[in-house]
Every structure is written in structure tokens, then in C-alpha cells.
A and B are shown apart, each in its own frame.
Chain A
């Protein structure tokens, strides 16, 4: 029986160890400390179970698997609901757990009365009913949606002690199905002068964002379905704009209007909100792409270690520019790295699940992940992104947005007692 040989410091094991299977891992995993017990028939095995409901929900034992709400009483401001990444696996976010940001609640739209107008610099301004759109050829694709403000607490000068849900919960991934926008715009007839498409929602704020026409024609869709069922109200039911890989706020929900123009609108959300201030006092405008990022979901803050021995480190990587090419993991704060296994299929602009086996010796460790995409982009270290983009003047609450578009490394410090802290390393 061969020994497990670490491939990087502090006990990281070869990602292919599972594929080779067998003896070595089995040896490493023996000695789990739960005492053997006499197995008996349980109560649920001795009588019929509950009625099957028409629409299924999770086990009552999973009540804690829920989004966290920033504004549960619906005060007159934005509501955020964050995805509990530390309690999920795989890459498809369940529809009820997909993150939502609503600036004035979720619009309750009667689909029969909803309309989508396409006008402006087009030859034939058109209006579509949902029934009409349902007859168009559709496409499906897995893609993530991420708020431009996701991970913003990592701009804090001190590590904000909060879970991966609080830090990175404004990103989720689903299989979206809908009508490619290029086909609708071609029917309307694009005036060659058009450069931008101003998208608008039917929600109370009439949220509007300007999108380059090139993106609309590349891979944008009017999304009608989310993981096979109609899009959730918080995702823009009955239809949303889907811009794979681009800033969440631009994926306008409750989509009712697309106006083709020569110039952008400079709407509130592009002129003011999603324009991060730089250390020199200038601000970025049109920071559209959600750049390559990864974070470890297990272990993480709130998912403590249960004694020395074998664990699988697991997390999520994604890039708004393309496909994840590689994820490296460190257990010693970035001194040494080992390549994680990527769960197939690896899809462009989608969550990619990475995993690597780890033999924890019970001592302090600092876990990090770092991702590369197939377009030559690498996830920056925190020091690199802070050097370029600056750091908040003061420690913000975990729900605040001191800046945007943080895609640097996240570090989890494992303490000897098994607790996990957010750290900077």
C-alpha cells in the first residue's frame, strides 16, 4: 500500500488521487472517530411517508439552506438576497436560492399583459407579446450572473469576518433558455447608425442600462426559463435580458423595452452607481465584464473542520470572458500551489466546480484558490488588485459596497481548533 504524497505544502494531495482510486485514499480515510454502533430500523422505515406535493421542496432538515436578506422588512431601498454557496455543491444554483437584487421589490407581472418593445434606430419598431416570443427558436446555456458589487467587502482594510455567502453570495449560475436577441433585432432591422441598446425594466424604478449593440448581437438573449422552469419573479418574470458574463445590473429584469441609439443613456446605474472610484479620484465607466474569479466554498467561514484527517476542498471558479482553464489551490497562504480538478463539463461564462483532496494535519493553514481563463486572464492576488484599485478608508459592514468588481483571491485561515476565519494573506 503506497503512502499519500502531498503535491503542495500543508497536505494538499494530487487531484487525480480519486481517479486512481483505491488503496492509498482508503488508508488515509480510515480511523474516522465515530464509534461503531448497532444499526436498528428507524421510525421512518416502519411506516409510510408523507404525501407527495404537487411542487416539491427541500427536506425540512434543510431549512437553514436559505438566502440571507439585507432588507427583510422592505424599507424604501434596495433588497439583496445572497446565495448560500457554503451549503451548495455542483454549479447549478437552485432557483429559490439564486441571488436577487431588487431596487424596489419584485414586480408582479401578469404575463398576458406584458409587452417587449424594440424601437429607436430600427427600420420597423416592433412590440412582442410573450405568446409571440414563445414561438421563436430558443437556445439554452448555462451562465452565471454576478452583481458588480459582489465580493466588495474584500476592499476593506481588515478582513470582514463573514461567510462566503455574505462575501460572495451575489453570484449564481443557472441554465437559461430564451430567444437570442439578434434574431429579434434583425426582424426589426438595425439602422447602421445604432451603437447602443438601452434596456429598460417594467419594475417600479424602470431600471435602465445601456448595452453595446455588439454584445447584444454576440450572445444576448431574452431569457424566459431558468433551470427549466419559468424565470423566478426575482429574476425578472416573465422575461429578463441575459448578457452572459457581464455585470449583473445590466441583465435587466422584467424587460419591457429595448431602444437602439447612437449614444449611451448615462442612466443612474451606469453614470453613478456602477462606476467604481479609483485611488486618484477618477472612476471607471462601463466596467462591463465580470472578470476571472474563484473562491473556496468548503471549508469556509461557518463550515468548520471536524478534526484532523481527510477533507475535500471545493469551490467555484468563473470568468465573464471565457472558459476556466485552470484553478490552483494553496493550503499554506500562497507559498505553494497544487492544481485542482475541474468538474466537467467546463463551460464558458459559467460556474466551474473545482475540487482537490486535502490531508489536514490539524495545524494552522491558510486556504486560497486562484483561477485562469482560456483568454489569458489570471485572477489577481488581493495585493495586486488593491495596489491597482485601492482600499476602503474604513472597515465597512459586510452588506456594504465600498467599491466594485473585486476579483482577487480570498483566503480562509484554518485554526488549530478547526474554526475558519476570513484572512488576508
Chain B
């Protein structure tokens, strides 16, 4: 019997890659607080929602001192406006450059406010995203942003890019 149970244990052991195998398996849920990447198709967007009106109030309290009144810019970048991309050093804005609306949610949630990142609730991040999109007239004033609606917001510069990888690798056709 003993032999049999040892055999079963050996058979049940996972096949390990050759190597030290010193990583600890991550159980479901253990990574939740860190699992914050949002992909352009909306993968990773959390539950919750927000509107531009809700966002305006949060903006005034937590964002305006850097980004200015009406998000027109202050000590840090303007969040509204779309100047033309008519020179290589043109100012990149959300409305004239950012290709995916999901990047707005992702960046606010992971990096803002600058002094206190990860202090906003998901609802607050949705609301601020809605505020910025509405101020840029990319959504309506009353539109609700959530995991379903946000990825569907088409950004004006979605198709404004040329892939440098993987086709323009050195040694391939010379292309500056």
C-alpha cells in the first residue's frame, strides 16, 4: 500500500521545467491589487462606471492644480484641445494623438494623481475618463463610461501610426 501511494504522489506531481523552480505559485485572486493593465480591446477593465458630471467634481478637487481650469493645462499638460500635427514637435494631446480610449483609464488609474497614485476608486477613474472625453467632444455630456462603452469610443488618431516593429528591423530594407 505504501509503495502504491508513493507512486500516486509521484504521478500527481507537476512536471517541472529543468531549473531551480524557486517561484511560488500565485493562487487565484492573490494578484488582484496589481492586475491593472487595460488592453485596447477593453480586457482588464473593472466593474464600475462614471459620467462627465461626476468627473468634473473630482477633477476640480484632485487634478486641476496641475492640469488647469477646464483641463486647459497648467504646470502640467492640457487635457483638452487638438492642435494640428503639422510639425514633428507638435504638441501631442489626447484628442489629436492618443489612439485608444483605454489608455486614458489605464494611465489615470496607475499614475494619477501624481502625488497619490492608486488612490482613486474605479468609479472615479471612469468618471475622470468620461470628463476628459466629453471635454474633447469625443463622447456626449451624458454618456456613461464603463467596461462596455469605453473601448467603443473611437479616438480620432486611431489610424495615425506606422508600425516600426517588426517590419523595420535593422539589416532589413534601409529605412530611417
Chain A residues engaging chain B, CB cutoff 8 angstroms? 75-77, 103-104, 117-119, 124-129, 132-133, 135-137, 155, 183-184, 186-189, 198, 200, 204-208, 212, 256-257, 259, 261, 263-268, 271-272, 275-279, 281-289, 291-292, 319-322, 373, 375-377, 380, 384-385, 387-394, 396, 402-403
Contacts and interface: CB of A to CB of B under 8 A. Distances in A.
By DSSP majority rule, is chain B's interface helix, strand, loop, or mixed? loop
Interface magnitude class on chain B: 35 or more
Contact of B162 (A76, A285, A391): A285
Instruction: Please provide the 7 A-B residue pairs with the shortest distance between their CB atoms, ordered closest to farther.
Output: A126-B23, A388-B176, A321-B170, A402-B89, A286-B165, A132-B22, A125-B26
Contacts of A103: 111
A271 B36 CA distance: 17
B38 interface: yes
Interface in B87-133: 87-90, 92, 97-100, 102-103, 106-107, 110-111, 114-115, 117-118
Contact of B25 (A125, A200, A208, A257): A125
B19 A208 contact: no
Contact of B40 (A189, A266, A283, A394): A266
Nearest to A390: B88
Given A187-B17, A268-B106, A396-B89, A287 B164 contact: yes
Interface centre among B84, B92, B110 (most CB of A within 10 A): B110
Given A184-B23, A271-B103, A272-B97, A393 B165 contact: no
Contacts of B160: 281-283
Interface centre among B22, B97, B115 (most CB of A within 10 A): B22
A187 B20 CA distance: 9
Contacts of B164: 284-288
B88 A392 contact: yes
Contacts of B110: 205-206, 208
A374 to B, nearest CB: 10
Interface string B1-28: 0000000000000101101111111100
Nearest to A408: B176
B85 interface: yes
A128 B22 CA distance: 7
A393 B19 contact: no
A385 B111 CA distance: 34
B61 interface: no
Contact of A208 (B37, B84, B89, B114): B37
Contact of A277 (B24, B66, B85): B85
26 contacts: A76-B66, A117-B31, A118-B23, A126-B24, A127-B24, A132-B24, A135-B20, A136-B22, A188-B23, A205-B110, A205-B117, A206-B111, A265-B37, A267-B37, A268-B111, A276-B88, A281-B160, A282-B161, A284-B161, A291-B170, A388-B175, A389-B176, A393-B89, A402-B88, A402-B89, A403-B89
A155 B165 contact: no
Contacts of B89: 155, 277, 392-394, 396, 402-403
Contacts of B90: 277, 393
B88 A391 contact: yes
A394 B86 CA distance: 12
A187 B23 contact: yes
A103 B76 CA distance: 13
Contacts, number: 206
Nearest to B26: A125
Contacts of B19: 136, 183, 186-187
A28 B95 CA distance: 63
A376 B161 contact: no
A251 B43 CA distance: 24
Contact of B171 (A75, A188, A377, A391): A377
Given A206-B118, A277-B88, 15 more contacts: A128-B24, A135-B22, A206-B36, A212-B165, A266-B103, A271-B100, A278-B162, A282-B160, A285-B162, A285-B164, A375-B170, A377-B171, A388-B176, A389-B176, A403-B88
A284 B88 CA distance: 11
Contact of A321 (B23, B41, B171): B171
Contacts of B175: 388
Contacts of A285: 161-165
A289 to B, nearest CB: 6
Interface centre among B36, B110, B170 (most CB of A within 10 A): B170
Contacts of A388: 175-176
A161 to B, nearest CB: 19
Nearest to B86: A281
Contacts of A186: 17, 19
Given A212-B165, A268-B103, A289-B170, A126 B111 contact: no
B92 A272 contact: yes
Contacts of A76: 66, 75-76, 114-115
A288 B165 contact: yes
Nearest to A261: B39
A120 to B, nearest CB: 9
Nearest to B161: A285
Contacts of B162: 278, 282-285
A205 to B, nearest CB: 4
B22 A390 contact: no
A285 B98 CA distance: 12
Nearest to B167: A286
Contacts of B97: 272, 275, 283
B88 A278 contact: yes
B106 A189 contact: no
Contacts of A387: 176
